[in-house]
Chains A and B, each alone.
Chain A
Amino acid sequence: MKNAVIELDKVVFGWPEGQPVLDIPALNVAAAERVFVKGPSGSGKSTLLNLIAGIHTPLQGRICVLGQALHSQGSAWRDNFRADHIGLIFQQFNLLPYLSVLENVMLPCRFSMARNTRATERYGSLENAATQLLEHLGIPRDSLHRRGVTRLSIGQQQRVAAARALIGSPELVIADEPTSALDSDSRNAFLELLIRECDLSESTLVFVSHDSSLETHFSQVISLRDLNHAKELV
């Protein structure tokens, strides 16, 4: 087996005094995989992402990301780890309204030396890195880069968010239903761009959606309903 990026082993998660929400005997994602995690709402998708990103720690079991045992580390360490190695994209409203497009994209590098260094090494400067990523993702230079983000369409906003998740080439990119606000044409276009850029920066992509029509783009499909042994939430 190739280098495992994500390893979950007998992971149980739940809120104190409540039923376990998540019970996953095993989950493995190899480096440079394109993983599609599908499941209806309420199936624990967000919880799974929060566990992988190290926001929450499991009640039982082991979670290793990039070979690091997250469950045995403190929250400050996990914060640093996440900032350095994980890029995140949400459903919508990903961007800070008071920063320009470029500043939004460069933001992760301001809080992670590792990503800053990688971006600068690869593109010469942080601004170059952001500009190039944006161009790759179809946000033309000059016309938009220095403007506020509020004038962008939702599709453009999501591509800016993708550029932000990808800057500094984090090993893992997690996307939480980033296409749910897009129409089907731009949905496929967005997905293609995202996957191409993940390939370029050799990042593993974990993509969560309830829309199984998208799963053809992915090399590995995980159905959370099959994976999760915890009882369905009512």
Chain B
Amino acid sequence: MKVVLMLALRSLYNRRVTAIMTMISIAVSVALLLGVEKIRTEAKQSFSSTISGTDLIIGARSGSVQLLLYSVFRIGNATNNISWKSYQEIASQPSVEWTIPISLGDSHRGYRVLGTTGDYFKYYRYGRKHPLVFRDGHPFVALHDVVLGAEVAQTLGYQLGQKVIISHGIGSTSFSKHKDQPFTVVGILKPTGTPLDRTLHVSLAAIEAIHIDWQSGTYIPGSGGTTPLSERKLEPKQITAMLVGLKSKLSTFQLQRSVNNYRKEALQAILPGVALQELWGMLGVVESTLLVISGFVVATGLFGMLTVLMTSLTERRREMAILRSVGVRPWQVCLLLVLETGGLTLAGIVLAMLFLYGGLAICIPLIESHLGLYLELSLPGLYELKLLLLVFVTGLLCGLIPGYTAYRYSLADGMTVRL
């Protein structure tokens, strides 16, 4: 066994150029498999940790995924709003501990502006119940204060005290701007790895204030009256959605049902966890497609190795015959080839790990800053190890094909060396 292993290694070294090429092709395919797997699990992790600690999300009746998308992920728009009256009624339910109203619709250079109350910074949780932490400054106090998400501040290079003008509607090139009421940056949040990093937070009153002179989506100066802002009662008439925290989880379904059956307005309450699962389930097709594709890439890598070995077998018939003549048994000839494929696969896997972790070490900061996806440089988990073991065993088994062929050759050729 030891001698056969030595022979296998020496023989491989003798054919090192093709051996290295084969190894690299296996390594690249395995690295791809591991990379896809890594991104898949990390994306899922990052995705499901966008919101936590919230028991119910309430919005106008539409689909639960849609509500989740616009209220949490800032994707798409609400089809309808919730009246401020309904909000107050729900917020005053005895089982409700806290509520966060959310008002969306405006933006600043492509980043969404979210109107809310100070409770947002107090109660919003993400990941493993992480609270929001300020990097600089404090929550909004004055009417025209704005708190920036980490990415907004970083990408646009905003500092505390800077003036910000908000555009009406969404989109980075909106022409209608609330130029008359500039905002001042008073706080910048620490990165969270959630869509929150790409959000500007203002008070609900501010949202009201900037829309005073707007009638049905058009800016008509003076149309809102001439009363100074400080003397107005800036109470919203409606909001986009609300997040609800309950005193006891036990009342979740009770409140959900009563919201869904609310008579005065068509409302919908969803459980964030369930909606996240539902949304991830929709992305699951993409996820498994990726995995299947990378599986095929690995198969291609192994097939490449098989092709190279099978091709070389004809040239190596002489080598096999020489080995037989010095006393190598046919089964050892077979073992020799299995060891070769095993060795190549193993080396490929090790190289793949180097590729992957080297690549991750370089890419993690880039991914973080560009995609807001926080990957962790962690050791491969049990599932990854199982995948690797599967690849290795498949590689070994692949060796049985040239191994068996060589076995047949060595029985048929015997000592007679044929060219």
Residues of A within 8 A of B (CB): 46, 49-50, 53, 55-56, 75-76, 79, 82-84, 88, 90-91, 93-99, 107-108, 110-112, 164, 176
Contacts and interface: CB of A to CB of B under 8 A. Distances in A.
Contacts of B321: 90
A107 B326 contact: yes
B296 interface: no
Given A95-B322, A107-B326, A50 B415 contact: yes
Contacts of A79: 327, 329-330
By secondary structure, the B interface counts as helix
A4 B327 CA distance: 23
18 contacts: A46-B416, A53-B414, A55-B414, A55-B415, A75-B330, A75-B411, A76-B329, A90-B321, A90-B417, A93-B417, A97-B14, A98-B11, A98-B14, A110-B3, A110-B327, A111-B332, A164-B326, A176-B415
A96 B327 contact: no
Interface residues of B, number: 23
Contacts of B416: 46, 50
Contacts of B11: 96, 98
B77 interface: no
Interface string B326-342: 11111010000000000
A5 to B, nearest CB: 18
A88 B414 contact: no
Given A110-B3, A111-B3, A50 B414 contact: yes
B327 A112 contact: yes
Interface string B1-35: 00100010011011000000000000000000000
Contacts of B10: 98-99
B319 A53 contact: no
Contacts, number: 60
A166 B319 CA distance: 20
Interface string B352-383: 00000000000000000000000000000000
Given A49-B415, A56-B414, A79-B329, A96 B322 contact: yes
A53 B329 contact: no
A94 B322 contact: yes
Contacts of A96: 7, 11, 319, 322-323
A88 B325 CA distance: 6
B318 interface: yes
B155 to A, nearest CB: 58
A108 B326 contact: yes
Contacts of A53: 414-415
- Nearest first, the 9 A-B pairs at minimum CB distance are A83-B327, A55-B414, A111-B327, A98-B14, A88-B325, A108-B326, A110-B3, A98-B10, A107-B326
B294 to A, nearest CB: 35
Contacts of A90: 321-322, 325, 415, 417
A110 B321 CA distance: 16
A88 B415 contact: yes
Contacts of A112: 327
Nearest to A49: B415
A98 B13 contact: yes
A83 B321 CA distance: 13
B318 A93 contact: yes
A176 B325 CA distance: 12
A83 B323 CA distance: 11
A148 B100 CA distance: 79
Given A95-B322, A164-B326, 20 more contacts: A50-B415, A50-B416, A75-B411, A76-B329, A79-B327, A83-B326, A83-B327, A90-B321, A90-B325, A93-B322, A93-B417, A96-B323, A97-B14, A98-B11, A98-B14, A110-B3, A110-B326, A111-B328, A111-B332, A112-B327
